[in-house]
Structure 1
Amino acid sequence: MRKNVFIRFWAYLRYYKGSLYLAVFLKIIEAFASVLEPFILGLIVTELTTKLIAHTPIDVGKIAFLLVIYAVRGIFSEIGSYGSNYFMTRTVQRSIYDLRLDLSYKINKIPVSYFDGHQFGDMLGRFTNDVEVVSNALQQSFLQVINAVLTLLMVIGMVLYLNLQLAIVVIVSIPLTYFSAKFLLNKSQPFFKRQADVLGDMNGFVQENLTGFNIIKLYGREEASAEEFDGILDELQDVGFKASFISGLMMPVLNAISDLAYLIIAFWGGFMVITGSLTIGNLQAFVQYTWQIGQPIQTLTQLAAMLQSARSSLERIFEVLDEDNEVSEVTETLSGDLTGQVIFNHVDFQYNEDKPLIKDFNLEVKPGQMIAIVGPTGAGKTTLINLLMRFYDVTKGAISVDGHDIRHLSRQEYRQQFGMVLQDAWLYEGTIKDNLRFAKLDASDEEIVAAAKAANVDHFIRTLPGGYNMEMNQESNNISLGQKQLLTIARALLADPKILILDEATSSVDTRLELLIQKAMKRLMEGRTSFVIAHRLSTIQEADKILVLKEGQIVEQGTHQSLLDAKGFYYDLYMSQFIQTAE
């Protein structure tokens, strides 16, 4: 049986339970002080009215004593309110900090396959929105729920103490108020959810149309776009009206119930005052308690939805924390740097059990060789690299590097031997120098410049404002895509890897820059084992061996010229690109 997520979250709160208990204690004081107010005022009213009616001297000392108690009560109420919020905020924020820290650690331990199966937006939502929902719910709702429950219990106790008959009226109004509020909330909630969905549709529509504004103008789609937007606005207006109208009925309905209870207590209590079975001060207290009943019930009803959202968010967060970590069976260690000998020995692999991708794959790569991998989309090119990098483990067979089965090596130690440049150039917010140093944190400025020169990117960097100290923005769009690719190649070279992997590394580079990269890579790949995935076949003509993949199998292998002479699948691929280029 799965543990309740709120109970499980106690593992984070318990480290700060001192602050939590203090917050609850101060909230109890605040609630008690709040409930005590009508009773003290009732005593004052009783003292004044009875003495005035009887034309006897007012007991000033008693009145003064009651006023002092009232003032002290007010001070304790304020201290309780401020103190409980302060300590609760501190408890929640520290617990959420620990939760975020655990998520950060976890994300570096779970396998790459997990990210392949989850959308980026979904993962981002768990780290940001879901954690924030939990934080807000605990910080805003927890103490309010305690205050509401305590207020109800104390009010019931006070009215029972004052008068049993009138207490029945107040107690009966509690479930009536609660179920009325819950009914209206259940009716309005679907419209609020639909309102949020339509609002998301509207935001998406606006973003999409602003992004493609030129295309809309080009094809004369302005009127159609405006009509579609009008349709979204009409639905938003409709569901927004229904949500606001139904939820707006809550206060009138709850006030009507309170008014009814108030009228009953006023008439019945007034009669009891006349007959002398109830003091006028206690009647006044009953009236105040009647009004105090509605607010906590409404609070409990409204916070139920917030707590439910927090529960859903916690479930999504714990789903990530419960994921299995990457399997680590380290039985071998590298005695030194790799030479770059790679052997695929009868390798099978499949992402899904019913869909085998690579079957009985065999390959031997000698140190220093450049291996090019080509083939149509879905042939398994990137999958081979994922297996080599241990982003995934083979289903059958083995991959060995320098005689070591890579499954028996530490992933971190093993991957430090690799340099990798992906098709999607990734840079982060910071200086160009910091981005290059990302591959080797202890690299000196001279090493950074040397790597940039080797990648033929030094001149470009120096033409930028600030040179190596130019700040990249968050999206890294203050330089071109091709320039970003050059920087990522320089970053990989700075690491001085023993095995180099280029996955469509020149796909975003123009012809002139491509020639510069090829010249630099020819010099720098000397002595390194290199794997190059390319659709642009002109970039791999000097490869020592070209592997032609189709449906996870090597259908051809050889040098560029030998494969052209064979006039097989590679020949067809090359000629199709040559003809397209010529046209």
Structure 2
Amino acid sequence: MSLEQEKTSSGEIVDSKVLKQLYGFVKPYKPQFYFLIFLTIALAILAPTRPYFIQVAIDDYVAVGDAAGLLKIIYLLVGLMIIQALVQWAHTYYSGWIGQVIIRDIRVKLYKHLLKLRLKFFDNTPIGRLVTRNISDIETLADVFSEGLAAIIGDLLQLVTILGVMFYIDWKLTLVSLCTLPLMIISTYVFKEKIKVTFNDVRNAVSNLNSFLQEHITGMNIVQIFNREDREFEKFKEINKEHRRAHIRSVLYYSIYFPVAEIIQAIGIGLVVWYGAVGVLGMDIEIGVLISFIMYLQLFFRPIRMIADRFNTLQMGVVSSSRIFRLLESKEHIANEGDYKPEKVSGNIKLENVWFAYVDEDYVLKDISFEVESGQTVALVGATGAGKSSIINLISRFYEINKGHISIDGHDIREFELDTLRKHIGVVLQDVFLFSNTIFYNITLGNPDITREQVMYAAELAGAKRFIERLPGGLDYNVMERGATLSVGQRQLISFVRAMVYNPEIIILDEATSSVDTETEELIQESIETMMTGRTSIVIAHRLSTIQKADKIIVLNKGEIVETGTHDYLLELGGYYTQLHQMQLKTMAI
């Protein structure tokens, strides 16, 4: 989703469809939700009781000097206040509790959904924006239940209750009290509309800020290598400035609205005091009624002042919800409809007339056909962008092919249950990612079925055992974020062990030794050959010297196969592979 699309969608009014989707997450907590509704109604009923009993106390007991009756009404008032405080506590607690459990459930569902999305989705979506969805937008939903929907319902019920009591006591004084109501409604509506716009700006600014920070912190080495600190700092200041502007606009509207609301309320109270005082002097209105009406008016205008803010809280939650639900409704996931779950595969891989494009019909692979027989080692070579990595991504179903077929042991890879397919394929990528955790965790990825003995055995095969044992704590050594405390070669070795510990029948090496120094490469080359024995292997190699023993070399150029054969055969052919080989020899000589 583009930023422009986000801005368009964020201007929506409260959508009943989104509220229904939110209610779907409330269903598991129906008893607590209905109890919250009951508490909301109870608060609305209890709100006008205090002014009423004060009126009764003044007119029926104070005016006639009935001290015993006054004491009883005071006890009753204290009891009601205690009940109201307990109800208010329960209401605050349960509204917050429901909000937190629901955002927990939504966050879990959203993250689970993200785990199943195809890599193409992440290629086109800034990570910072996804972080915003999973954290900031979901946090906003908690306010929908604590300060939004339930609070609005409570405020409306309170308004109706207070208005009904006021009309019951003195309808003329009530009409005088409501003279300023149109002004309050107009100012509240204007405030609501202005705040809605500023909120949308704030949400977009937060999303942009998250995206910028995530991208630039991750790529900080590039920023520093090319001396771009000052330029990127200026960009950050501009984005941060827009974030500040959006927030200040919202603060400005709040700073104007609430004083205006206070003035309107004060005018209303002034009119009540004036009209009521005349009535009291003329013996038409009792003093207790006048005092209670002043209290009623304060209680009446408070929900009106707050309802605009609460409505915007609700709308903020709905806007955030609509973004989250759009992400949850995304169909950018790998279809896992296969049910073939073999315990073992022989590893015969066949590509037939495969076409693939990352974007529309801009094909990076064009009519690719080849076969890797069980136990064979096949190397893919070619210039950057020839389509080598795309082929291995398709075999592992990280992306879906546009046309053609890929099969393993005669079964289309789409027939395989996805977890089973990937369990049989061990992949070592050129770009190694390590989590901020121990070496043991980064190799097993938390799989409880893999023992430390299995890890050390795989490490010995990969030539990594020696360096692991030299580290403080061995397998328990924390590699820090992205493996910052390890060398490039060591990270590569860890990724190799990670692939081999699952004992896969198919091994894929995507330029796995390109980041390893010559000494380390020599150390693991013999181990690689040992591990490849009896396994189907596909190797993408930058250094042609590492694939001379391959059973078959497939040469790619611009997404097409241009040559196929052994190392010696291709050299004798004197074609594209020979040119690549000679260029590499010249580079090594220099």
Question: Which position in structure 2 is the counterpart of 1:410?
Answer: 417
Please give the secondary structure, in 2, of the residue aligned with 1:294.
helix
Q: What is the aligned partner in structure 1 of residue 170 from structure 2? A: 163
CA contact (8 A) 2:509 2:540 kept: yes
- Give, in whole Å, the separation in 1 of the partners of 2:202 and 2:22: 31
Q: Is the 8 A contact 2:61 2:67 kept in 1?
A: no
1:281 positional shift: 0.8
Does the CA-based 8 Å contact 1:13-1:92 persist in structure 2?
A: no
Match of 1:30 in 2: 43
Q: CA deviation at 1:576?
A: 3.4
In structure 1, give the amino acid aligned to 2:36. A
Q: What per-residue deviation string (whole Å, max 9, x for no partner) do you get for residues 267-304 of structure 1?
A: 11111111222111111111112222332122211122
The answer on whether the counterparts of 1:174 and 1:293 sit within 8 Å (CA) in structure 2 is no
Query: Match for residue 335 of structure 2?
Result: 327
Measured after TM superposition, the shift of residue 485 of structure 1 is 1.6
Say if 1:496 and 1:333 are closer, same or farther in 2 by CA, change over 3 A. Answer: closer
Give, in whole Å, the separation in 1 of the partners of 2:357 and 2:228. 47
Which of residues 22, 35, 45 is equivalent to 2:58?
A: 45
Does 2:438 match 1:425?
no
Describe the shift of the 1:401–1:240 C-alpha distance in structure 2 as closer, same or farther (beyond 3 A): closer
CA contact (8 A) 2:276 2:290 kept: yes
Partner residue, 2:480: 473
Counterpart contact for 1:361–1:553, Cα < 8 Å: yes
Q: What is the alpha-carbon distance in structure 2 between the residues aligned to residue 232 and residue 545 of structure 1?
A: 53
- Correspondent of 1:287 among 289, 294, 299: 294
**Residue 150 (structure 1) shift:** 1.9
Equivalent of 1:146 in 153, 165, 169: 153
Report whether the alignment pairs 1:8 with 2:17.
no
Cα distance in 1 for partners of 2:514, 2:458 equals 21
Q: 1:196 to 1:3 in 2, by over 3 A?
A: closer
Percent identity at matched positions?
A: 30
Aligned partner of 1:62 among 65, 69, 75 = 69
Once the two structures are superposed, the pairs formed by residues 532-571 of structure 1 within 5 Å of their partners are: 532-571=539-578
Tell me how far 1:500 sits from its aligned partner.
0.3
Q: Deviation string for 1:162-201 (max 9, x for gaps)?
A: 2112212333433421321332454466566657777888
Q: Which moved more, 1:535-544 or 1:513-522?
A: 535-544
Q: Which residue is 1:499 aligned to? A: 506
- Asked if structure 2 preserves the Cα contact closer than 8 Å seen for 1:556 and 1:570, the reply is yes
Amino acid at match of 2:20: I
| Distance of 1:511 and 1:477 partners within structure 2 | 21
Question: Equivalent residue of 2:467, what SS?
Answer: helix
Deviation at 1:210, TM superposition (A): 13
Amino acid at match of 2:497: A
User: 2:6 matched to which residue of 1?
Assistant: none
Query: Are the structure 2 counterparts of residues 400 and 193 from structure 1 closer, same or farther at C-alpha, using a change threshold of 3 Å?
Result: closer
Alpha-carbon RMSD: 3.3
In the alignment, structure 1 residue 18 sits paired with structure 2 residue 31: yes
Offset at 1:111? 4.1
Change over 3 Å in CA distance of 1:259–1:443 after alignment to 2: closer
CA positional deviation for 1:67: 0.9
Counterpart-to-counterpart distance in 2, 1:402 and 1:209: 44
Structure 2 SS opposite 1:249 = helix
1:55: which partner in 2? none
Bigger drift between 563-572 and 10-19 goes to 563-572
Q: CA deviation at 1:404?
A: 2.1
Alignment gaps of 5+ in structure 1: 52-57
- 1:310–1:546: structure 2 CA closer, same or farther, 3 Å change rule? same
2: CA distance between counterparts of 1:446 and 1:153? 72
Deviation, structure 1 residue 434: 2.8
* CA displacement 1:467-500 (0-9 Å, x = unmatched): 1122343443232333222111012111111100
Cα distance in 2 for residues equivalent to 1:147 and 1:3: 19
Query: Is 1:343–1:400's contact at 8 Å kept on the other side of the alignment?
Result: yes
Query: Structure 2 counterpart of 1:22, which letter?
Result: F
- Does the Cα contact within 8 Å between 2:377 and 2:539 map onto a contact in 1? yes
CA distance in 1, matches of 2:113, 2:412: 26
TM-score (normalised: structure 2)? 0.87
Alignment of 1:138-217 (within 5 A): 138-187=145-194, 190=197
Counterpart of 1:310 in 2: which secondary structure?
helix
Give the Å deviation of 1:254: 0.6
CA distance in 2, matches of 1:299, 1:536: 69
- Structure 1 partner of 2:322: 315
Cα deviation, 1:520-550, whole Å, max 9, x if unaligned, reads 2122111211111233434333322221212
Maintained 8 Å contact 1:439/1:492: no
Tell me, yes or no, if the aligned pair for 1:341 and 1:402 is still in contact at 8 Å.
Answer: yes
Match of 1:529 in 2: 536
What is the rounded CA distance, in whole Å, between the counterparts of 1:405 and 1:470 in structure 2? 41
Residue 219 of structure 1: CA displacement? 6.7
Q: 1:370 to 1:305 in 2, by over 3 A?
A: same
Q: Does 1:356 align with 2:363?
A: yes
Q: CA deviation at 1:13?
A: 0.8
Alignment-mate amino acid for residue 530 of structure 2: R
How far apart are residue 49 of structure 1 and its match? 5.6
Report the Cα offset of residue 257 of structure 1.
0.5
Residues 573 and 125 of structure 1, relative CA distance in 2, 3 Å threshold: farther
Find the aligned partners of 2:218 and 2:19 in 1 and give their Cα distance.
42
The whole-number CA distance in structure 2 between the counterparts of 1:197 and 1:105 is 24
Post-superposition offset of 1:27? 2.6
How much does 1:228 deviate? Answer: 7.9
Aligned residue pairs: how many?
Answer: 574
Q: For residues 313-350 of structure 1, what are the alpha-carbon distances to aligned partners after superposition, in whole Å with 9 as ceiling and x for unaligned?
A: 2222222333446434446553x522221111222333
Q: Residue 161 and residue 481 in structure 1: after superposition, are their counterparts in 2 closer, same or farther (change >3 A)?
A: farther
**Matching residue's letter, 1:6:** L
Among 60, 65, 81, the alignment partner of 1:74 is: 81
Q: Please, which of 85, 98, 101 is the counterpart of residue 105 of structure 2?
A: 98
Q: What whole-Å deviation, never above 9, does each CA across 1:62-85 have from its counterpart, x for those lacking one?
A: 212211221111011111111112
Contact kept in structure 1, 2:99 and 2:141, CA below 8 Å: no
How far off its partner does 1:554 sit? 0.3
Q: Which moved more, 1:408-417 or 1:5-14?
A: 408-417
Determine the C-alpha separation between the residues in 2 that align with 1:437 and 1:215: 33
| Residues 30 and 78, structure 1, Cα contact 8 Å, conserved in 2 | no
- Rounded Cα–Cα distance in structure 2 between residues aligned with 1:163 and 1:134: 42
Give, in angstroms, the shift of residue 354 of structure 1. 3.1
For 1:15 and 1:85, the matched residues in 2 are separated by 20
Of 376, 383, 389, 1:382 maps to 389
Deviations 1:203-250 (A, max 9, x none): 96899699979988997987x899888878887777666553442111
Q: What is the SS of the residue equivalent to 1:555?
A: strand
Name the SS for the 2:399 alignment partner: coil
Separation in 1 of the partners of 2:133 and 2:489? Answer: 33
Q: Does 1:276 align with 2:254?
A: no
Structure 2 residue runs of 5 or longer lacking an equivalent are: 1-14
Distance in 2, matches of 1:220 and 1:398, equals 46
Partner amino acid, structure 1, of 2:443: L
